[in-house]
Amino acid sequence: MTSLAAELSAIASAAFAAEGLPAKFGQVQASDRRDLAQFQCNGALAAAKEVRANPRQIAQKVADRLKADPLFAKVEIAGPGFINLDVTDSALAERAGAMIGDERLGAPEAGRGKTLVIDFGGPNVAKPMHVGHLRSAIIGDCLQRLFRANAWTVVSDVHLGDWGLQMGQLISEIGRRGVAPVYFDADFKGPYPEDSPVTMEDLEEIYPAAAAACKADPARLEEARRATAELQAGRPGYAALWRHFVKVSERGLTREYSSLGIAFDLWNGEASVDPLIPPMVDDLKRRGLAVESEGALVVEVAEPDDKKEMPPLLLLKSDGAVLYGTTDLATIVDRVRNYDPDLVLYVVDQRQHGHFEQVFRAARKAQLNGRALLEHAGFGTMNGADGKPFKTRAGGVMKLYDLIAMTTDEAQKRLAEAGIAGDYPEEERNDIARKVGIAALKFADLSNYRLTDYIFDLARFTRFEGKTGPYLQYAAVRTQSILRKAEDEGFAAAAPVVRSPEERALVLQLLGLPGAMEAAEDKRAPNILCEYAFELAQSFSRFYAEHHILSEPDTGLRAARLGLCRLTVDTLAKVLGLLGIEIPQRM
């Protein structure tokens, strides 16, 4: 199924070509003045510039050809040469009917045959997840769902931070506390215990203590550095202890992510590419790409027309330790080898943009990226009311777990205020509150363009009116309940008809789904999907306010309107699904 805009573009392109003009000027898009027309083609202006002719004359010739096509109810020229287009109601209804019969609802197939590796989440072993990790998870998950829906083969990787100095800090702190001496006994021949000597809660206490000690005392920092170097060199006791940290953290993190409905294909970490580093470094040295600089080994990545200074990528420190950029570079080698991706997308805080620029340049310079485009899809911060990155009232990092609990509480309050689910069994009400809370959190995050910062305002996010997740969930549930009642009455649904302005607007919005999915993919911008879903819900509510559905006495009309309800529910469910938002059975 091709989208209506694509269909119209093909027709207009043919008209341009028939006038001896490049077909590319026939691009048709949804009009940004819906009050004037449904669609517009602005190509005459650009074409006129290219062939040095009068834009209105070109527009006139193209318009004359379009007028011959019965698909159009209106072809008009506006201003200096815009072509405004309306499609006939019967053509709209016919396409809506076809959409009902299409399981994919016309979703684009831009990704057919292409592979995406998407790197998001990025939590660190033992360090608590903070709101930056939350944004990465929510945006990254939406993008993985969207690319999959657009027919890409998608491999998502959490890229666990499990190889840095924090590992040595934990090890040396545990060594000092003497809680697990066998891991420090150089003469111990193994095997090491199966069970971890520390729990997730222990790690959450040990890590900040260790980090504080290292900050206060250079000797402690040196000790932690040594432990890190020994771990990375493969000291058996440290490696065994490290495996426990990773396992314990993974278990906790999986629980947190799944409470948000987020899953990853791969749980690889920085450490997993460690074996690839020595051969990669040797190869870069041999090719003269890695060079000594002040005792360290670096890859120069500055380019002649850089406006800002671009420092070299640090591969190995003077003590031989590897860095964040080193593991990222080796991870590219690994991903290219295993998946040969067309695109690798990094959904990481925009403040790391410089880091990714260095890594990508180094990868391209050394041709380590295969055919993959490397791209950083950054995001801004979620701020508190004070405009600074969101913290708990006590000033600490807000843990995901607590954040979800807080959101669920707020959702409970809102449900009670709105008189929703009050008489449902408690278990169901709690489940609805959890879903509403998560929808509020996700939608608030996704509806802002990802690079803009926004303020965390739970009272606003959880409202049932306005541009919120709960409003959309409620709209979906209500529409669904119309269909359920129709089923109880034995009323059938049929292909939609288009007769009124509200029906026309709703069908146009429904037919705009592929365009929204395409634009959201192109810009890596979930806010386009949020906007689409909101407009859809609004178009539906205007339609609902003006038409009888269950009470419509004309059987044919009733069936056609139920068809529109069906298509609306399916489309809304699809888009909310892309946003990672669940729809309760009832509300």
Residues in touch with ligand ARG (CB under 6 A): 119, 122, 124, 159, 161, 328, 346, 348
Give me the least distance between CB of 352 and ligand ARG, in Å please. Answer: 7
What does the CA dihedral 63, 66, 67, 68 come to, rounded to 10 degrees? Answer: 140
Can you tell me whether residue 440 is helix, strand or coil? Answer: helix
Nearer to ligand ARG, 223 or 334 (CB): 334
Contact 325, 123 (CB under 8 A): no
Measure the CA–CA gap between 338 and 329, rounded to whole angstroms.
15
Give me the least distance between CB of 249 and ligand ARG, in Å please. Answer: 12
**What count of residues does the chain have?**
587
Give me the least distance between CB of 195 and ligand ARG, in Å please. Answer: 27
Measure the CA–CA gap between 174 and 179, rounded to whole angstroms.
6
Measure the CA–CA gap between 464 and 343, rounded to whole angstroms.
38
Side chain identity, residue 563: G
CB atoms within 10 A of CB 232: 20
Give me the least distance between CB of 349 and ligand ARG, in Å please. Answer: 7
Per residue in 125-150, is it b (16+ CB within 10 Å) or e — as a string? bbbbbbbbbbbbbbbbbbbbbbbbbb
Give me the least distance between CB of 132 and ligand ARG, in Å please. Answer: 7
Reported as half-sphere exposure (CB side, CA atoms, 13 A), residue 355 has a value of 16
Nearer to ligand ARG, 47 or 323 (CB): 323
Give me the least distance between CB of 104 and ligand ARG, in Å please. Answer: 31
Give me the least distance between CB of 337 and ligand ARG, in Å please. Answer: 16
Nearer to ligand ARG, 130 or 145 (CB): 130
Nearer to ligand ARG, 122 or 496 (CB): 122
Measure the CA–CA gap between 470 and 476, rounded to whole angstroms.
10
Measure the CA–CA gap between 495 and 566, rounded to whole angstroms.
10
Identify the helix (H) or strand (E) that includes residue 344.
strand 343-346
Nearer to ligand ARG, 43 or 121 (CB): 121
Q: Which spans in 425-512 are helix H?
A: 426-447, 458-461, 469-489, 501-511
Nearer to ligand ARG, 122 or 563 (CB): 122
Sign of CA dihedral 135, 139, 142, 147: negative
Per residue in 389-403, is it b (16+ CB within 10 Å) or e — as a string? bbbeeeeebbbbeeb
CA angle, residues 210, 216, 219, in degrees to nearest 5? 80
Nearer to ligand ARG, 84 or 326 (CB): 326
Report phi then psi at 384, rounded to 5.
Answer: -85, 180
Angle at which helices 527-546 and 469-489 cross, to 10°: 40
Nearer to ligand ARG, 348 or 564 (CB): 348
Give me the least distance between CB of 245 and ligand ARG, in Å please. Answer: 15
DSSP structure class, residue 376: E
Which residue sits closest to ligand ARG, CB atoms considered?
122
CB atoms within 10 A of CB 370: 16
Nearer to ligand ARG, 324 or 454 (CB): 324
Give me the least distance between CB of 124 and ligand ARG, in Å please. Answer: 5
Q: Which spans in 68-217 are helix H?
A: 89-100, 131-149, 165-177, 200-216
Nearer to ligand ARG, 136 or 150 (CB): 136
Give me the least distance between CB of 169 and ligand ARG, in Å please. Answer: 15
Nearer to ligand ARG, 85 or 116 (CB): 116
Contact 284, 299 (CB under 8 A): yes
Give me the least distance between CB of 536 and ligand ARG, in Å please. Answer: 34
Give me the least distance between CB of 154 and ligand ARG, in Å please. Answer: 16
Task: Report the candidate in 426, 451, 420, 469 with the shortest Cα–Cα distance to residue 580.
Answer: 469
Nearer to ligand ARG, 27 or 326 (CB): 326
Give me the least distance between CB of 355 and ligand ARG, in Å please. Answer: 7
Measure the CA–CA gap between 77 and 31, rounded to whole angstroms.
13
Nearer to ligand ARG, 61 or 159 (CB): 159
